[in-house]
Amino acid sequence: MDARYVFAVRFRVEPAAGGVSLDPEEFETRLSRTADPPGEEGWLFFRDNLWRGEIGDERHFRELTSEALGVTVTSVEYRALRTDEEYYEALKDEIRANLPEFKDDSVAAVVSKYLGSSVEVEH
């Protein structure tokens, strides 16, 4: 099983030495985070951080990303959950087994509520 959350990250590099400058000072890149296996610790990352295909608390997520990367992150945008079919089926099965926790009546509604239409299943 293979799945990754993908984000667009914009960050600023601030030179530590005097007399040094950068042009541009900001850069944009893609950040990938491995999706934890369904049912294991961390598998609810999507529920805890995303809402309708967007980051729920952008400021907090930006701070966490800054800490993880060691640079000043100026913006983070969720792009997609890129997954293989095996992971996606396991994720849906785990959601189905925990529907009351999501306060929803279907797996499709939960996926839409948190991931929006930003799920890319690779065949």
Question: Please, which residues have CB within 8 angstroms of residue 8's CB and are 6 or more apart in sequence?
Answer: 28, 29, 30, 31, 75, 76, 77, 79
Bigger pLDDT: 97 or 20? 97
- In this predicted model, what pLDDT tens digit does every residue of 45-99 receive, in sequence order? 999 999 999 999 999 999 999 999 999 999 999 999 999 999 999 999 999 999 9
Record the pTM. 0.89
